[in-house]
Amino acid sequence: MDTEVADVIAAVGPRLRALRRDRGLTLEALAEDTGISVSTLSRLESGLRRPTLDLLIPLARAHRVALDRLVAAPATGDPRVHLAPRSRGRGSVLVPLTRYPGRVQVFKQVLAPREPKLVTHAGHEWLYVLAGELRLVLGEREVVLRPGEAAGFDTAEPHWFGPVGREAVEILHLFGPHGDRAVVRTGPATSG
């Protein structure tokens, strides 16, 4: 086995441990989700057990990540990202930019005109307008955001967002399911 392959295999265990810990899972909980014994999971994470597809596939499913995230497959030389847009009906499109459940999710969305319907749920949302105008309703308040403008809010507050008028709006949409918040930095602080 060449050293590059050996290095890739050796990195799987620590990557599995970090992913499990980041998700706040115990070995016992992961064993229950995957059907893989606690001892096998422990040996995989410590590098004492060689990772095989029959072990990695259930782990990728349980963590809801692509298999190459567990293995850190070598780059193919093609830098393009192939995203799968999802039609949301009547001209609206959602493109997931991240796939890490339990963490802040990022989407690019094109929102077609639709009737406002206030909703609430746990989490925090952050919206950034790329093109068009976005109407944001938060409880009794209403604001219009234009390209380059952003808004963040707790989703426990009744809310709705969509285009102003009859033209679609294009946005970046971040959602933190556990109240995670996006942090916007404008640059280093200046003294004086």
> Over the stretch 2-31, which tens digit does the pLDDT of each residue have?
787 888 888 899 989 988 888 888 999 999
Q: Is the dihedral of CA 139, 142, 146, 149 positive or negative?
A: negative
User: What stretches of the chain adopt beta strand conformation (E)?
Assistant: 86-87, 93-96, 105-111, 124-131, 134-138, 141-145, 150-154, 159-163, 169-176
The arithmetic mean of pLDDT across residues 137-159, rounded, is 95
95 & 166 share domain: yes
The arithmetic mean of pLDDT across residues 31-59, rounded, is 93
Per-residue model confidence (pLDDT) at position 19? 84
Domain assignment of residue 62, given as a range: 3-71
Confirm whether 59 is domain-assigned.
Answer: yes
Confirm whether 43 is domain-assigned.
Answer: yes
Confirm whether 42 is domain-assigned.
Answer: yes
Confirm whether 115 is domain-assigned.
Answer: yes
Residues 6+ apart with CB under 8 A from 47: 10, 13, 14
The arithmetic mean of pLDDT across residues 111-127, rounded, is 92
56 & 91 share domain: no
What CATH number corresponds to the domain at position 142?
Answer: 2.60.120.10
What CATH number corresponds to the domain at position 65?
Answer: 1.10.260.40
119 & 154 share domain: yes
Per-residue model confidence (pLDDT) at position 12? 92
161 & 108 share domain: yes
The arithmetic mean of pLDDT across residues 41-56, rounded, is 93
48 & 93 share domain: no
> Which pTM value belongs to this model?
0.54
Amino acid residing at 117: K
Of 7, 1, 20, 2, whose CA–CA distance to 71 is shortest?
A: 7
Mean pLDDT for the chain overall: 85
Helices and strands (H and E) in the chain: how many = 5, 9
Band (97; pLDDT cuts 50, 70, 90): confident
Q: Percentage of residues in the chain with pLDDT exceeding 70?
A: 84
36 & 92 share domain: no
Spatial distance between the Cα atoms of 106 and 99, rounded to a whole number of angstroms:
8
22 & 59 share domain: yes
Helix (H, G, I), strand (E, B) or coil at 6: helix
Question: Which residues are paired to 181 by β-bridges?
Answer: none
For the chain, what is the domain count?
2
